[in-house]
Chain A
Amino acid sequence: MTLTLNSGAPTGDIKDRWDNHKFDMKLVNPNNKRKFEVLVIGSGLAGASAAASLAQLGYKVKCFTFHDSPRRAHSIAAQGGINGAKNYKNDGDSVHRLFYDTVKGGDFRSRESNVYRLAQASVNIIDQCVAQGVPFAREYGGLLDNRSFGGAQVSRTFYARGQTGQQLLIGAYHALMEQVAKGTVDLHTKTELLDVVTKDGVACGIVTRDLTTGQVRSWSGHAVLLCTGGYSNAFYLSTNAMNCNVTAAWRAHRKGAAFSNPCYTQIHPTCIPASDEFQSKLTLMSESLRNDGRIWVPKGFDDARGAGQIPEGERDYFLERKYPAFGNLVPRDVASRNAKTVVDEGRGVGELKNGVFLDFSDAISRLGAPVVKERYGNLFDMYERITGESPYEMPMRIYPATHYTMGGLWVDYNLMTTIPGLYALGEANFSDHGANRLGASALMQGLADGYFVAPYTVGDYLSKLLGQPSVPVTDPVFTQAEAAINDDVKMWMNTGGTKGVDYYHRELGKIVWDRIGMARDKNGLEKALSEIPTLREEFRKNVRVLGTPEGINQSLEKVMRVDDFFELAELMARDALHREESCGGHFRVEHQDEEGEAQRDDENFSYVAAWEWKGAGAPQELNKEPLEFEYVHPAKRSYK
């Protein structure tokens, strides 16, 4: 091990850790704040909230997004809600219970101090969002409504119809635009980060490419915050937006930031299956559907009959059969794995035999169509718009799809990566969800990091830099980084290949899905480690990028992102191969009990894997941050 992984997490009573830490951190005098430049990359929940909050404090902030407007970041697509330990329902919720549920839901692979702070901040987030005008659902008395979500026995989820992510992002976007209008945030749209620049091992700026003009240029700052989301698109088909990518985090990794737990990826069980080879992305259907829908496949293999022609006795309600206590409401990882098993057996449904039925006919005869419509009408409409089939008349077809990644850049308690001055917030870091994220917690983490953590911790770092000017962009560290990007661009424009970048992304996605998907084994992972570099070699020779590097060139944008996905996919396989246990979203076929349930190995794997870049072509080196559990004691999750 060559890295020192000091989480800097405080000790003492967990209730007081964050308060004490805040008091211990150094402050920057209001007159000095404007001397510090902070670069925020990304404008989703984490990025917009951090940029706005830091600007409110008086720092000079620059915010970069590759979208045409900050409001388009993928946080906008989150449906269900955001958790907040308000206990408005008087059902026994508390900060401690949210903390407990999150550590347990993460299968005991997260850092207790971080999770406790997240639960504490959840309360302030709800207040902050309401003050900004987020139109959360209300009861008739005018007070806030809550609903329940998986992995919890209390109702603590705040929501705005099925568009909670949209409304929270618009709240943060408004706050950001107010600062832009005041001139405290300098906003750069259609600008993509292509490198993180360091001098003497410390982050000092970034290099970007303007997606409209193609101009490559540098920006210097005293601190750099990466709020750039997750890497689900390594799978090609995922519920992530088309442009979501790992490039910012990956290029930081190449500059020395450790990358943690890349094998922790979450597969959501209820998505609409792919309809053909040209499917561009998958659409999630809310988890709430499993409250009234029954999941089944035919008992027989290659049954080509329609759902209506299969008599009751020839149907296999496999979740109800295997998990009588939880039935169709088992957690996401369990539901997903079982769907994969029956499809792999050849019992899948639909033209491509790539789905399972989610059947509402019992619910409709029990409750009547109007009640079902009231509960799920908008989801049924969305399903019908995409598939042309009405769930009132025939069962939905669903299949699991990747939609969130728990892994990401390693960060300490202050959210700083292993590069001083470089921070990672939101889904881009690894910190709070362990090996599995609970529903309605992604929005919570993005906003906690941006509104309530980074504004304090970044100040503490900057206080020590008082009097130091930022590194000028004429410094060789910047000019060399720019030259390297320009060389890269030139190389991609001149491969002389024959195939489009989507072809290779799709082929990579197939390997990642088959080998590093819902169930992994040694043999498959080793194959992935040889298949990925082979395909990458072909990709680098044979991909074709047409047009010019000046002006808009979407193939050029994408080819660089896909190249980074290739390297990441290799690391995902390496991480999954080394973790000889099953936990959360990481299921190793070799590590299951006699009933097929995941088997954790706390003795040997209760640590955060932090991979360190060792140069192109060389495998990364593993570093370990041990995890200690003082408050929530590791136990087996059982849903029988």
Chain B
Amino acid sequence: MRVTLKIWRQDGPSANGGFHTYAVEDLKDEMSFLEVLDVLNERLTEEGEEPVAFDSDCREGICGTCGLMINGQAHGPQKGTATCQLHMRTFTDGAEITVEPFRNASFPIMKDLIVNRAPLDAIVQAGGFISADTGGAIDANIIPIPKPVADAAMDAAACIGCGACVAACPNGAGQLFTSAKLAHLNLLPQGQAQRWQRTEQMVETMEMFFGSCTNHGECQEACPKEISVDFIALMNRDFIKSKVKNRKLLGQTLS
């Protein structure tokens, strides 16, 4: 099969970018989308044109490194699939495919299709952890955790931190990512001690970088791990509660 790729190319963060069109031929159904870019890059190198910069690593849909807007959709047309797991059989022969970097004002373009997603790490730094220094842990079976709770925490923890939810959102909101991290930690008994501080700090850090959620639900549709928007509801509830709880806590300390 053959496809025409319209790819966003941009030399660096402050350079002007634009679309370049490349025809790629002799492709097979079973090739992955990123392998098509590999083939194109090898050809461009031999022709003396600089290859297209794009990020990927595990190519198994788990590391969260890759991520492209394909025909305007974060990670492309297949539901529950990261860019690296997208295969050419999803496209028709002769298709014209538009390829852009993830879109968000807080994800500046570094080069071609590579963006900087550092704000996601900043949100985690603000409280996305359970403080448990090495060495002091009690036996793992002392606190039984009901299976449904462990399963729900795992559903949230499956987030790969790719940023597709942000890129897909018309408001550029970071709610799905932040709420998944919060739900993972806030649902577990081990996470209770820091629950309210964690929630307030992470939500406020999120708001420094990203837009507001108005319940479009595009994030859930784009998420390669199909993480549910229900977690956003949980986060919103915890955030309101945290405002009261944290103030009360402060009052107790001062009195």
Contact = CB atoms under 8 A, between A and B. Distances in A.
Nearest to A130: B140
A142 B144 contact: yes
Contact of A138 (B45, B128, B130, B145): B145
A627 interface: no
A181 interface: yes
Contacts of A212: 110
Contacts of A129: 140
Interface of A: 49, 52-53, 56, 67-72, 74, 76-77, 86, 88, 124, 126-133, 135-144, 160-161, 163, 166-167, 170, 173-175, 177-178, 180-181, 189, 212, 241-243, 275-276, 278-281, 283, 385-388, 451-452, 455, 498-500, 502-503, 544, 546-547, 551-552, 554-555
Nearest to A86: B140
B129 A280 contact: no
A388 B30 contact: yes
A35 B87 CA distance: 52
Contact of A241 (B59, B118, B120): B59
Contacts of A161: 154, 158
A170 B42 contact: no
B38 A71 contact: no
A70 B46 CA distance: 34
Contact of A242 (B56, B81, B111, B143): B56
Given A137-B154, A388-B87, A551-B12, 15 more contacts: A68-B65, A86-B140, A127-B140, A128-B137, A132-B130, A135-B150, A174-B130, A175-B132, A212-B110, A241-B63, A278-B35, A280-B38, A388-B29, A551-B11, A554-B51
B150 A136 contact: yes
A143 B146 CA distance: 8
B132 A128 contact: yes
26 contacts: A53-B133, A67-B65, A68-B55, A72-B65, A74-B58, A76-B58, A127-B140, A130-B140, A131-B136, A131-B137, A135-B154, A136-B150, A141-B144, A142-B145, A143-B144, A160-B154, A166-B160, A170-B157, A178-B125, A189-B121, A243-B57, A388-B30, A388-B89, A500-B46, A554-B53, A555-B45
A281 B132 CA distance: 37
Interface stretch (B69-77, B171-179, B183-191): B183-191
B161 interface: yes
B198 to A, nearest CB: 11
B124 interface: yes
B134 A56 contact: yes
B87 A68 contact: no
A521 B180 CA distance: 52
A500 B28 CA distance: 21
Contacts of B3: none
A575 B139 CA distance: 43
Contacts of A386: 30, 32, 85, 87
A131 B132 CA distance: 6
Contacts of B233: none
A133 B63 contact: no
B31 A275 contact: yes
B7 interface: no
Contact of A278 (B12, B31, B55, B184): B31
Given A140-B147, A546-B45, A72 B125 contact: no
A174 B136 CA distance: 17
Given A67-B57, A71-B64, A280 B32 contact: yes
A77 B62 contact: yes
A496 B58 CA distance: 31
Interface of B: 11-12, 28-32, 34-35, 38-39, 41-42, 45-46, 48-51, 53, 55-60, 62-65, 78, 81, 85, 87, 89, 110-111, 114, 116-118, 120-121, 124-126, 128-141, 143-147, 150-151, 153-154, 157-158, 160-161, 184-185, 188, 190-191
Contacts of B55: 68
A355 B211 CA distance: 49
Contacts of A167: 154, 157
Contacts of A52: 134
A616 B64 CA distance: 38
B225 to A, nearest CB: 9
A281 B185 CA distance: 34
Given A69-B121, A174-B130, A127 B57 contact: no
Nearest to B111: A552
Given A135-B154, A388-B29, A547-B50, A68 B117 contact: yes
Nearest 6 interchain pairs by C-beta: A142-B144, A174-B129, A131-B137, A500-B45, A131-B132, A127-B137
B172 to A, nearest CB: 19
Contacts of B147: 138-140, 142
A174 B146 contact: no
Nearest to B121: A69
B89 A499 contact: no
A353 to B, nearest CB: 15
Contacts, number: 213
Nearest to B187: A135
B120 A56 contact: no
A387 B30 contact: yes
A161 to B, nearest CB: 6
Q: Is the interface of B mostly helix, strand, loop or mixed?
A: loop
Contacts of B32: 280, 386
A248 B81 CA distance: 33
A498 B46 contact: yes
A533 to B, nearest CB: 24
Given A140-B147, A276-B30, A546 B51 contact: yes
Contacts of A278: 31, 35, 38-39
B57 A72 contact: yes
Nearest to A88: B141
A67 B153 CA distance: 26
Contacts of A53: 133-134
Contacts of B117: 68-69
Contacts of B50: 546-547
B226 to A, nearest CB: 12
Contacts of A126: 140
Contacts of A500: 41-42, 45-46, 51
Contact of B58 (A139, A170, A241): A241
Nearest to B36: A278
A385 B30 CA distance: 10
B132 to A, nearest CB: 4
Contacts of B64: 69, 71-72
A125 to B, nearest CB: 9
A56 B158 CA distance: 27
A569 B78 CA distance: 39
Contacts of A68: 55, 65, 116-118
Contacts of A163: 62, 158
A427 to B, nearest CB: 15
Contact of A546 (B11, B48, B129): B48
A133 B184 contact: yes
Nearest to B51: A555
Contacts of B154: 135, 137, 160-161, 167
Contacts of A144: 140-141
A181 B134 contact: no
Contacts of B46: 498-500, 544
A183 B32 CA distance: 41
A70 B124 CA distance: 12
A552 B41 contact: no
Contacts of A178: 125, 129, 131
A143 B141 contact: yes
A138 B140 CA distance: 11
A69 B140 contact: no
A178 B89 CA distance: 43
